[in-house]
Amino acid sequence: MTPPELVHIAMMQARIGDDQFLIPNGPMGSRLIAEVIDVVIEGERLNARMVGKSCADWATVGPDGSYAALDVRVTLKTDDDVILYCEYGGRLDFASSRAVTSPLFQCGDEKYDWLNRIQVIGDGIYDESTQILTYQLYEVRPMQATA
């Protein structure tokens, strides 16, 4: 069986704000809420920037505190003024600062309908000194059927 192909879409940078809130030992685990103050996506296939102020990560921290399950939502505007919605889950390893995510985009504009039809993965690293999480975003293209 041939593995899926990964096709690069863009680089995404998310700047995390200073305000972070921990809600320990809730019914779903400990929540770490981190405001995201800016998101920029730059690439050959997609260029967009966060609009509004409603972006955050409502992460659930693992029982041993070494990782988190991400839960992010963001509204974006493309460089040609089209609004996109993006949400993603994934995992962040605190020891390595590595994150792997699975963004899903939604858009009603025909030009960006291709985003509605694909699965994206993000491979990222968090730089604590700048508070920027930098991802490379890839389209996952399923393996080709063989005759």
pLDDT in tens, 30-51: 999 999 999 999 999 999 999 9
Residue 146 included in any domain: no
Residue 147 included in any domain: no
Domain interval for residue 26: 5-141
Residue 50 included in any domain: yes
- Residues 20-29, mean pLDDT to the nearest whole number: 90
pLDDT in tens, 70-117: 999 999 999 999 999 999 999 999 999 999 999 999 999 999 999 999
Q: What is the pLDDT of residue 2?
A: 83
CATH of the domain at 26: 2.40.160.20
4 close to 141: Cβ distance less than 8 angstroms: yes
Which of 53, 50, 56 lies closest to 32, judged by CA? 56
